[in-house]
Chain A
């Protein structure tokens, strides 16, 4: 034979955030894993903004962490700027956002991959994929290698059939300077998968020394010790950088609007749908003509690189227009453009062809994660990677697939949205997508997922022990606060300390429930040592928002009844009385597993769901009649 054959339990294609987490998860549960990427020294890159986190995204990072993933620890170790957002707005929407030292972040992940037993990284480009007749998959590589795997995770990002745009320039490529993966795209189509087209873009980078910082607003990093991972210490790192803020001017508007015909977006050269939440500057001026100015954030890419990212100036204008745009911003009139912004258009696989384990229906062993599923964002990708990697391993080991529910994790919301609703734009997570937002908090990600991760073999002994210690500590403190009564004399001293009325005979928990009282102050008054801040946060949230949390728990129980009504496998939806053709067609394609899911599919009306319910009840009655007759 003229080719070289390698086999592995799980092959992961792609070394981005999804690919790295998928490979690590599969290896952690004991599989022999091969990760294929053209450039193994360039894994987990941050080609768009150099930051991780933000509302809903930080929540996903915390979930990746609770399931033993790498992203949280990596950002904690490499962050050069961090803030806790929405601190005044309540427990569900508070979110960390950190800036990574981008090159260091990437090498940190490369180290994690090489340190993981059972995981091997291979430099190659996959050009074709086939399903074997007797199960398993074969992948053909550019080098001539053929890989055989029990399961495969495709995490190819924006590289499938990708084209880059800048002004009138148009070149094949998935990222600046990197070729697309066209062969793999062709084999997916040959396997019968429906493929669509999406667009995304990035912002220009300028040289730090060409910025006039004196005239810009400063955004300092937080002075508190903050961390994403349960395993990271809460320390302020030695070196933090500042970010800066500037705003578009009338001159910027003129430059953009005068050159609109030279933008590939408005010149009609890009057909793929772009994200609404990350519009190009062209889009912002066209769609919101009344808004005088738009914010631009200056974010350093790292300590050792002079590049500064211009958050807010996503554009695919020609180079000379980009220079004029950037120099119209206050503080940037001498800016030296190091890398221009550009747009990328790429293929994605319609995710309604997947099941909730991220496996392609009808192609056992083939899992997809990240932008290939139509999502956007490092965090969304990493979270899918964990689930896809784990399920690929389960497939190989003959174990049941793992699903997450919408009331359990943002990852559950993400996957459910993808597989039952699909997407028409790059899908980004928002807290408003989670109907049980108060249950899916940043601070309780470990309580929601670490026990599950432990059972699945994703969680190491150290994390498990940390989790148990913190749970015991927070439960103990809650119990203590519920039992500790305030005496007559104490009430007076407490009232002085809290500057509020305190009724003698109440318990300390009653005081913690007041929005303005902090547990730290109470403990200080008691003469007790301060709690671990992470334990303290758990105790406070549990007491202060008890009523609201309990209500959402009840809501979940109520909805679960409908949610849980299963739809028999293989039910034929077409021809069901009362179901619209559109709904029947959608259900036939998406194959919802329960009534709740059936109702969330776009284009399905409540009357379709009622008709389905009527039908399911009839089926059930018929079944009971048969059983009754036999008995």
Chain B
């Protein structure tokens, strides 16, 4: 089976020209499935088909939509498509139906992106996740977390603007709300991480000082010689990205330029790109040369490793050792450390296992279920977590609540980006419906 879909003001006219119904003359009834035959532009019979017209706005795009259900394969649907085009239709650009549905307000941004993920989903598991996203599993969880935060905001805002008329929040209540919100967000992130691993793929960045063996590892994991490997530090200057599948998971593996202080202009350009991609990474693989002491230039990894699952590969264990697990403490937050010698290809297996475990453990631990998220949604969730963390820091430093409210508002608005909502009005609504205000 294949479906040819038409959307737009002329959908009905084109449908009526291509398909002749077995029974029934005159107007097409909306949302009724007709049996009929499809004809080419030169009036040749193409196929026995089912056809349906869905008048806007009761359709996916809110425009008039026509569908022709014909036999599958490459030939028949192609001919039906040609016939439509010759009668004035044009081919849709990728995701255009969803774009139209989004532009007509039929679906929100979160749903639209789920549909696009569905279209692009390579594996069956990813398709299931995308279908759940469409029904709003992600939107629902985000919305409920956001609602909690909005309530909290309303308490603070009411206190700011109507001080003596509302009950004060205690420090304990603030701490309780914060920890509930952080747990909920952690849960969402875990689900999202698992979803990413089986969908579009986790953005996994290989990073470390020059000449530690990043490109060697990259080639080993991909099973091909794609990156140039030499004994000269700074060989890799641009980012290389490739998807790699193992154990039902998908990783988007990125090889990056080695980080070190100094370097020539081109090398520095490469290092800048590396820093950018580390900021976006969903998993880090830090490759270090264990025959050398802790290198300089890796400061940014200390913060990044706390944010995402991190596997440290201690390469060159065949040489005299000058860097051990102890040296990593305080510098990196590692989920796993793998001492290895990448000169021996069979050693890549242990790295692979560690990667797999880090990705699943981070995802599976508390996930209520895997969630289909794209990169934009993932970034929004991560930013929401950063805002809550910064709120927590401020709370510990004894910052006043109007400062902390900056982070709270940002967390709410970042979560709102996933579904698309305005903060100020909602807070005021919440304030007025919760409290009896006004002297």
Contacts and interface: CB of A to CB of B under 8 A. Distances in A.
B402 interface: yes
Nearest to A276: B432
Given A294-B436, A606-B420, A432 B161 contact: yes
Interface in A578-614: 578, 580, 600, 602, 605-608, 610-611, 614
A600 B103 CA distance: 18
A86 B437 contact: no
Contact of B103 (A291, A312, A610): A610
Contacts of A279: 436-438
B438 A578 contact: no
| Interface range on chain A (Cβ under 8 Å from partner) | 35 or more
B424 A433 contact: yes
A551 B403 CA distance: 11
Interface stretch (B23-31, B120-128, B235-243, B393-401): B393-401
Contact of A438 (B406, B424, B428, B438): B406
B82 interface: no
Contacts of B394: 548
Interface in B391-431: 394, 397-403, 405-406, 409-410, 420, 422-425, 427-428, 431
B330 interface: no
A284 B164 CA distance: 16
Contacts of B165: 295
A375 B363 CA distance: 52
A607 B423 CA distance: 17
A557 interface: no
A92 B157 CA distance: 12
Contacts of B399: 90, 515, 545, 548
B116 to A, nearest CB: 14
A277 B438 contact: yes
A222 to B, nearest CB: 15
B165 to A, nearest CB: 7
A432 B428 contact: yes
Contact of B160 (A312, A432, A555, A608): A432
Contact of B439 (A278, A602, A611): A278
A279 B432 CA distance: 11
A606 B402 CA distance: 28
Contacts of A287: 436
Nearest to A578: B103
A608 B402 contact: no
B82 to A, nearest CB: 26
A577 B103 contact: yes
A294 B157 CA distance: 20
B54 interface: no
A312 B400 contact: no
Given A55-B160, A578-B103, A89 B401 contact: yes
A551 B103 CA distance: 33
Interface string B311-344: 0000000000000000000000000000000000
A602 B437 CA distance: 24
A284 B165 CA distance: 13
Contact of B102 (A56, A314, A610): A610
A605 B416 CA distance: 13
A614 B102 CA distance: 13
A277 B157 CA distance: 13
A93 interface: yes
A49 interface: yes
Contact of A91 (B104, B397, B402, B422): B402
A5 to B, nearest CB: 47
A294 B436 CA distance: 9
B403 A578 contact: no
B67 interface: no
A64 B160 CA distance: 22
Nearest to A582: B105
B159 A89 contact: yes
Given A435-B409, A515-B399, A602-B425, A611 B436 contact: no
B164 A430 contact: no
B403 to A, nearest CB: 5
Contacts of A435: 409, 423-424
B439 A49 contact: yes
Given A435-B409, A515-B399, A548-B403, A86 B160 contact: yes
A607 B160 contact: no
Given A55-B163, A89-B159, A278-B439, A432 B402 contact: no
B438 A278 contact: yes
B398 A516 contact: yes
Given A430-B161, A605-B420, A607-B102, A92 B402 contact: yes
A314 B162 CA distance: 17
Nearest to B158: A432
Given A278-B439, A432-B157, A608-B105, A91 B400 contact: yes
Contacts of B398: 515-516
Interface string A511-549: 000011000000000000000000000000000010010
Contacts of A551: 406
A608 B163 CA distance: 38
Nearest to B99: A578
Instruction: Name which of B100, B163, B422 has the most chain A CB atoms within 10 A of its CB.
Output: B163
A358 to B, nearest CB: 22
Given A432-B157, A607-B103, A437 B402 contact: yes
Nearest to A544: B399
Contacts of B431: 432
A88 interface: yes
Contacts of A611: 103
B190 interface: no
Contact of A90 (B164, B402, B427): B402
Contact of A605 (B105, B401, B405, B438): B105
B15 interface: no
Given A276-B432, A278-B439, A294-B436, A431 B102 contact: no
A419 to B, nearest CB: 16
Nearest to A55: B161
Interface in A67-122: 85-86, 88-93
Contacts of B428: 430, 432-433
Contacts of B164: 295
A30 interface: no
Interface in A424-445: 430-433, 435, 437-438
B439 A438 contact: no
B51 interface: no
B250 interface: no
A141 B361 CA distance: 81
A93 B432 CA distance: 19
Contacts of A89: 159-160, 400-402
A600 B425 CA distance: 10
Nearest to A434: B424
Which residue, B398, B424, B438, has most C-beta atoms of chain A within 10 A? Answer: B438
A276 B424 contact: no
Nearest to B112: A607
Nearest to A294: B436
Contacts of B409: 435
A373 B198 CA distance: 56
Contacts of B405: 437
Nearest to A57: B161
A342 to B, nearest CB: 17
Interface of A: 49, 55-56, 85-86, 88-93, 275-279, 284, 287-288, 291, 294-295, 297, 311-312, 314, 430-433, 435, 437-438, 515-516, 545, 548, 551-552, 555, 577-578, 580, 600, 602, 605-608, 610-611, 614
15 contacts: A56-B161, A89-B160, A90-B399, A91-B400, A276-B437, A279-B437, A311-B439, A314-B438, A431-B160, A431-B402, A432-B427, A548-B399, A577-B103, A607-B104, A608-B105
Q: Lowest 4 A-B CB distances belong to which pairs?
A: A90-B400, A578-B103, A90-B402, A606-B420
Given A93-B160, A438-B403, A578-B103, 11 more contacts: A89-B159, A90-B401, A91-B400, A288-B436, A314-B438, A431-B402, A438-B402, A555-B410, A578-B100, A606-B109, A607-B102
